[in-house]
Every structure is written in structure tokens, then in C-alpha cells.
């Protein structure tokens, strides 16, 4: 190929190379645009996920809770027939603090000149003015009378009154000593098992026997462990009757009673407990429950065994072998007779009496100690019980009168034909006053389920409730008030999810096509480059050959 032809071909290839590279740059720019589109689609999707709507709690006619859109109308409940469905929430402008109100309410407030009763007249609310004024004046006079008597002042510090109340309470409810608690437990344990008619004790659990013994041992360490009480306690702790509590057989019948026909038979044990029937030596002795019944009730016991009696060698017959005896020994019977003073007394009655006497003594001692401590304190602050009680009582009378007066303030002067409706609009008027005025909201925005929500998110308004006691507005949020909540829009999220998937698939499809075209252009550019390199080599070879000829 001639040099001129090579030059022409080289110029053509170079132009094609520039064209290919230009198209590649254009495709790269399109891919960047796709990335931006992907970001926009994602941001739109995230916004849909984050979007929430405001709802307010309402109640149906049966009192069941349900949630409704947080529109201006639903929040304000300015439709009086609906207002009792939930709390009233006012929409307050952040910039000028004024409350948004329906056009009718806004107009009525402007025309009222700041007068509640003119506002109520314009809103067509029926009322009777100054209905409770006499009650208020009477209560006010009473409060002033108490104040003149000095009832509003207590000549004692809060610490002195608190200490007095504590010590006075100790007098009314003396602190229980450990000994009192032991005696009380003993009285309850034994007394609860008594038949009030026949004075027969029926313990229901053998474990209670061990508990009773431990309580009696606790009394051994007190000043009450003396005389008859000591005799009875020792007898209970050491109680045992070898004749009765020897090993029994499976044919033993044991009965016991208190010796009085008018009182019920309280023990009948027809068969000894057995743990090892095959080994007579391991037969169980009479259990603690049986022993407990005998100890508490006393009386006479009789034991019958059925034994084989040999009459002739190799010949025997069954015969009843009986034995009897007293459950209490002479010493304890004498002690019980002297202590209780009744016919056939028993330890059950004695233990209850002992326990109650100890309780009373301990109570009196604790009460006396508490009275002495209270009197010592009263002397230390140079007063008497009557003086401090009178001061506290008088001040309580004064505070009750003040509380009664607070229920008859200016707002209660008015008696409404419809008390709920009247109070609703009175609170609305006072809320507007507290906010410094109001401004109208359009009917369309009032009904909109999104207007309030958007205004809150754009920091244009806040929600508030009216505090009637403090006559001020309190700002609230969905997270701080049980009557409000924010919920996600599931329908919008589903639509956004579908739209996001479709848009993302379209973007990915375009990107795949751009990548294919870029690969094609890259292949074409490489081929052109290879051919250009080949032409340049031919050109260099031709030049070298020409100069070599002349040299």
C-alpha cells in the first residue's frame, strides 16, 4: 500500500475511533443518570415506609375503644354530638400560638369581645348565669372565718407533726414483741382446733405438734416461764405415756375421752400404723397426731388387744385384753384444776388461756412504753396531746373548707341546660383565651385526614389539651398521650413496594443494555486500535526503506 493510501486509511480509522469513544462516554453518562434515578426511586420508597398517619382514640355507644383518623374535626370534637367519643385536642400554630378553630367558632369568638357569655350566646348555648354564686359566697365566708380563728396556721413544724403521728400510731397500735408473736401463734394454733361447743380439740396435722412444742420452748426463755405456766409447758414438752406408746399390733383398738358423757368422744384409733407389715418389730408406734389429741384433751384412755389365750395345751381362744389409765398425771391435773377452775380441765384450754394472758400483758407493756415515749416527746417540744391534736384537727377543717371552696369557683357559677355541651364550649373559650386568640381553618382542611399530620411534620403546629385546674394549655404528642397514636399506612407501603420493584427492574434492564453496548464499543475500539497500530508500523517501515535507499 502506498504511503498516501496508508495516511488516508489512518485518518479514517482515527475518526472512527473518536466516534466510538464519544458514544462510549455518552453511554457512561446515561449509566450515571440511571444511578441517580435509582437513588430517587429508593428515597421515594423509604419515604413511603416512614410515612405515618395520626389517629385519635374514640369509643362507641357500648364503650368499646376504636381509633379514627386524626383530622382536625375528630381531634377537636367540635361536633357536640360526637365530642364525648374521646379527648379534645386543640391544634395550635407554632408561630403565633393561636388555636385553629372552625369558621363558626372563630367568628363567634371575634364577636364576643372576650366575654364568655356573649360567646355562649352566639354559639346558642343555653345557660343560667350565677347559678351557684350563693354557695360560693357561703364557702368563702366559712374559709375566712376559719382563717380569722387561725385554723390556716399550725404552730408546729412538719417534722414535729410527723414524729407525733408516728408515736401516736405506736400507742394505738403497739409494736408487737417477739414474746407476743410466739404467744399469738400458740393461741392461733391450738385455738383453731377447738370445738366451741364441747371444748374438744381436733388438731388436723401431726406437723402442728412439732410446731406447738417449738412455740412452748420459745416461752421457756421468757419471764412467763414460772409457776403453773412452767408446770404446763414442761408437761407438754415431756409428754409421753409408755403404756400407750409402746409398740402396738394390727389388732389394737385405742379409744380416749374426757370422762364427761356430755362431751364428744374425740379419739378412736382402730389400727396401729404399720410401715413394715412383714416385720412385727418395725410396727409404727402411735403417731404424733394421736399424741397431740391426747395431750390437748386429756381424760381416760382404754386400749383393747385381741390375743390368743391358751386354755389347754394346744388349744387357745381369742380373748379381749383391755387396759385403761389416765392421760394426765396427778400433778398436771391439780395444776390445771387450780388454773382453769373447771371440771375435767384440759391442756388445750390452758394453753389458749396462757397464750391470751401473755398477749394481753405484752400488749399492755408495749402500749405503756409507747405512751411514755409519746409523753416524753410532747414535753420536749413543750406541748400537750390535746393542743397538737386540736391544731391538726382545726387545720384539717380549714383545708376541707378551702377544698370545698375550690369546687365553687367562677366557672361553676353557670348552670348549663346541657351540662356536657356547655362545659365543652366553656373550655374551648378558655383554651382560646390561654392561647391568645384563634384563627379560622377551612372546612376542607378541617375534614382532611392528612392536613394536621402534614402540619405537625412540617413543624407548623402542635397539639394541646386544656388544663381546667391551672387554666392553661399543655402540649401533647402521640407518644406522650394515650388518646393519640401514629400508625403506618399499609396500603401506601404495599403500593410503594410494588412501584419500587417495577422501577428498579426497569433501571436494571436499561443498565444491562448499556453494558452490552459498551462491551460492543470496546471491542470495536480495540479492533480499530489494532488496525491503526498496524498502519503506523507499515508507515514506519516505508519511511525506513525510503531513507535507506537514499543513504
Instruction: Please give the share of the chain, as a percent, with pLDDT higher than 90.
Output: 36
User: Looking at 187-191, 268-272, 417-421, which range is the least confident one?
Assistant: 268-272
Q: DSSP letter at 536?
A: H
Give Cβ neighbours of residue 384 (< 8 Å, ≥ 6 apart): 378
In a domain, 73, yes or no: yes
Give the count of beta carbons closer than 10 Å to the beta carbon of residue 246.
Answer: 11
Total domain count, the chain? 3
Q: Quick one: which H or E segment has residue 124?
A: none
Claim to verify: residue 220 and residue 346 sit in the same structural domain: yes
Flag whether pLDDT at 504 surpasses 70: no
Distance CA 257, CA 327 (A): 10
User: Looking at 114-118, 351-355, 435-439, which range is the least confident one?
Assistant: 114-118
In a domain, 323, yes or no: yes
Distance CA 413, CA 405 (A): 12
Report for 86-100, 121-135, 249-263, 529-543: range of highest mean pLDDT: 86-100
Report for 401-405, 501-505, 538-542: range of highest mean pLDDT: 401-405
Claim to verify: residue 186 and residue 297 sit in the same structural domain: yes
CA 128 to chain centre: 44
Structure confidence at residue 276 (pLDDT): 46
Flag whether pLDDT at 396 surpasses 50: yes
pLDDT in tens, 431-465: 999 999 999 999 999 988 789 888 888 889 999 99
Claim to verify: residue 434 and residue 313 sit in the same structural domain: no
b/e sequence 120-145, b meaning 16+ C-beta within 10 Å = bebbebebeeeebeeebeebeebbee
- The domain containing residue 439 runs over which residues? 52-126+414-488
Flag whether pLDDT at 313 surpasses 50: yes
Claim to verify: residue 272 and residue 310 sit in the same structural domain: yes
Flag whether pLDDT at 545 surpasses 70: no
Structure confidence at residue 43 (pLDDT): 57
Give Cβ neighbours of residue 308 (< 8 Å, ≥ 6 apart): 316, 317, 318, 319
Q: Which residues pair with 201 in a beta bridge?
A: 194
Q: DSSP letter at 91?
A: E
In a domain, 366, yes or no: no
Give the gyration radius of the chain's Cα atoms.
52
Q: Quick one: which H or E segment has residue 384?
A: none
Q: Which three cell numbers stand for residue 281?
A: 418389730
Structure confidence at residue 262 (pLDDT): 59
Structure confidence at residue 212 (pLDDT): 95
pLDDT bin (cut points 50, 70, 90) of residue 409 is low
In a domain, 208, yes or no: yes
Mean pLDDT, the chain, whole residue set: 81
Residue with grid cell 471491542, as numbered in its chain? 523
Structure confidence at residue 497 (pLDDT): 59
CA 74 to chain centre: 31
Structure confidence at residue 206 (pLDDT): 83
Claim to verify: residue 429 and residue 444 sit in the same structural domain: yes
Q: Which three cell numbers stand for residue 277?
A: 407389715
User: Looking at 141-145, 186-190, 412-416, which range is the least confident one?
Assistant: 412-416
Domain termination site, one of 488, 508, 540: 488
Task: Look at residues 94, 31, 77, 85 and name the one whose alpha carbon lies nearest to residue 58.
Answer: 85
Q: Which residues pair with 255 in a beta bridge?
A: 268, 302
Distance CA 303, CA 299 (A): 14
In a domain, 251, yes or no: yes
Claim to verify: residue 22 and residue 66 sit in the same structural domain: no
Q: Between 61 and 154, where is the model more confident?
A: 154
Domain termination site, one of 488, 511, 531: 488
Q: Quick one: which H or E segment has residue 310?
A: strand 300-312
Q: Quick one: which H or E segment has residue 314?
A: none
| Mean pLDDT value across residues 98-107 | 94
Distance CA 168, CA 373 (A): 9
Claim to verify: residue 45 and residue 83 sit in the same structural domain: no
Claim to verify: residue 238 and residue 332 sit in the same structural domain: yes
Q: Give the side-chain half-sphere CA count within 13 A for 291.
A: 23
In a domain, 347, yes or no: yes
Is 92:99 a contact under the CB 8 Å cutoff?
Answer: yes
List Cα–Cα distances, 281 to 248, 289, 322, 510, in angstroms. Answer: 10, 22, 21, 101
Sign, CA dihedral 513-516-520-526, equals: positive
pLDDT bin (cut points 50, 70, 90) of residue 345 is confident
In a domain, 369, yes or no: no
CA 297 to chain centre: 51
User: Looking at 267-276, 284-293, 386-395, 398-407, which range is the least confident one?
Assistant: 267-276
| Mean pLDDT value across residues 30-36 | 67
pLDDT in tens, 366-375: 999 999 999 9
Q: Quick one: which H or E segment has residue 41?
A: helix 3-50
Rounded to 5 degrees, φ, ψ at 132 are -115, 20
Q: SS3 for 301? A: strand
Q: Between 475 and 264, where is the model more confident?
A: 475
Claim to verify: residue 258 and residue 337 sit in the same structural domain: yes
Is 251:272 a contact under the CB 8 Å cutoff?
Answer: no
| Mean pLDDT value across residues 130-151 | 84
Among left, alpha and beta (phi > 0; psi -120 to 50; other), residue 173 is: beta
Q: Which three cell numbers stand for residue 203?
A: 388438731
Claim to verify: residue 246 and residue 348 sit in the same structural domain: yes
Structure confidence at residue 107 (pLDDT): 94
Flag whether pLDDT at 65 surpasses 60: yes
List Cα–Cα distances, 68 to 59, 73, 86, 441, in angstroms. Answer: 10, 11, 10, 20
Structure confidence at residue 499 (pLDDT): 67
| Mean pLDDT value across residues 321-327 | 84
Q: Is 383 exposed, middle or buried (0-12, 13-18, 19+ CB in 10 A)?
A: middle
As a dihedral over the C-alpha atoms of residue 74, residue 423, residue 469, residue 88, rounded to 10 degrees, the angle is 0
In a domain, 44, yes or no: yes
Domain termination site, one of 434, 468, 488: 488
Claim to verify: residue 324 and residue 471 sit in the same structural domain: no
Flag whether pLDDT at 259 surpasses 50: yes
Q: Which three cell numbers stand for residue 483?
A: 388518646
Claim to verify: residue 87 and residue 191 sit in the same structural domain: no
Flag whether pLDDT at 356 surpasses 90: yes
Is 75:67 a contact under the CB 8 Å cutoff?
Answer: no
Amino acid at each position: 500500500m502506498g504511503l498516501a493510501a496508508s495516511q488516508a486509511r489512518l485518518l479514517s480509522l482515527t475518526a472512527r475511533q473518536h466516534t466510538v469513544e464519544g458514544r462510549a462516554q455518552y453511554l457512561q453518562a446515561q449509566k450515571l443518570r440511571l444511578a441517580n434515578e435509582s437513588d430517587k426511586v429508593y428515597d421515594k420508597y423509604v419515604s413511603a415506609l416512614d410515612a405515618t398517619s395520626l389517629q385519635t382514640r374514640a369509643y362507641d355507644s357500648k364503650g368499646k375503644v376504636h381509633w379514627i383518623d386524626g383530622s382536625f374535626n375528630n381531634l377537636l370534637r367540635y361536633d357536640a354530638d360526637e365530642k364525648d367519643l374521646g379527648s379534645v385536642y386543640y391544634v395550635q400554630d407554632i408561630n403565633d400560638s393561636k388555636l385553629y378553630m372552625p369558621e363558626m367558632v372563630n367568628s363567634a369568638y371575634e364577636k364576643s369581645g372576650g366575654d364568655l357569655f356573649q360567646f355562649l350566646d352566639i354559639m346558642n348555648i343555653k345557660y343560667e348565669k350565677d347559678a351557684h354564686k350563693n354557695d360560693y359566697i357561703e364557702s368563702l365566708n366559712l374559709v375566712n372565718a376559719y382563717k380569722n380563728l387561725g385554723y390556716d396556721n399550725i404552730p408546729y413544724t412538719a417534722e414535729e407533726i410527723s414524729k407525733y403521728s408516728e408515736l401516736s400510731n405506736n400507742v394505738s397500735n403497739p409494736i408487737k414483741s417477739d414474746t407476743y408473736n410466739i404467744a399469738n401463734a400458740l393461741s392461733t394454733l391450738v385455738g383453731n382446733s377447738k370445738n366451741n361447743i364441747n371444748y374438744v380439740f381436733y388438731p388436723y396435722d401431726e406437723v402442728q405438734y412439732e410446731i406447738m412444742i417449738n412455740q412452748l420452748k420459745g416461752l421457756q426463755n421468757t419471764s412467763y416461764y414460772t409457776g403453773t405456766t412452767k408446770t404446763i409447758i414442761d408437761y407438754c414438752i415431756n409428754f409421753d405415756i409408755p403404756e400407750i406408746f409402746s409398740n402396738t399390733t394390727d389388732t389394737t383398738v385405742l379409744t380416749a375421752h374426757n370422762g364427761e358423757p356430755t362431751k364428744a368422744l374425740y379419739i378412736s384409733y382402730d389400727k396401729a400404723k404399720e410401715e413394715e407389715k412383714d416385720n412385727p418389730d418395725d410396727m409404727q408406734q402411735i403417731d404424733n397426731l394421736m399424741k397431740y389429741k391426747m395431750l390437748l384433751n386429756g381424760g381416760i384412755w382404754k386400749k383393747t388387744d385381741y390375743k390368743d389365750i391358751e386354755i389347754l395345751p394346744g388349744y387357745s381362744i381369742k380373748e379381749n385384753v383391755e387396759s385403761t389409765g389416765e392421760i394426765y398425771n396427778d400433778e398436771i391435773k391439780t395444776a390445771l384444776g387450780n388454773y382453769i377452775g373447771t371440771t375435767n380441765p384440759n391442756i388445750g384450754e390452758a394453753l389458749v388461756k396462757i397464750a391470751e394472758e401473755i398477749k394481753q400483758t405484752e400488749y399492755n407493756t408495749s402500749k405503756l412504753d409507747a405512751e411514755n415515749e409519746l409523753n416524753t416527746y410532747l414535753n420536749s417540744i413543750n406541748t400537750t396531746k390535746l393542743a397538737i391534736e386540736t391544731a391538726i384537727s382545726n387545720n384539717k377543717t380549714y383545708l376541707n373548707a378551702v377544698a370545698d371552696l375550690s369546687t365553687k369557683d367562677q366557672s361553676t357559677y353557670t348552670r348549663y341546660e346541657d351540662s356536657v355541651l356547655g362545659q365543652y364550649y366553656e373550655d374551648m373559650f378558655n383554651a382560646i383565651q390561654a392561647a391568645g386568640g384563634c384563627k379560622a381553618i377551612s372546612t376542607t382542611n378541617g375534614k382532611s385526614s392528612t392536613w394536621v399530620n402534614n402540619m405537625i411534620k412540617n413543624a407548623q403546629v402542635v397539639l394541646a389539651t386544656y388544663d381546667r385546674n391551672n387554666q392553661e394549655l399543655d402540649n401533647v404528642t402521640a407518644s406522650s398521650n394515650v388518646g393519640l397514636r401514629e400508625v403506618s399506612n399499609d396500603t401506601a407501603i404495599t403500593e410503594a413496594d410494588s412501584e419500587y420493584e417495577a422501577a428498579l427492574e426497569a433501571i436494571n434492564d436499561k443498565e444491562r443494555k448499556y453494558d452490552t453496548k459498551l462491551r460492543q464499543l470496546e471491542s470495536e475500539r480495540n479492533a480499530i486500535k489494532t488496525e491503526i497500530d498496524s498502519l503506523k508500523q507499515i508507515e514506519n517501515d516505508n519511511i525506513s526503506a525510503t531513507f535507506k535507499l537514499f543513504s
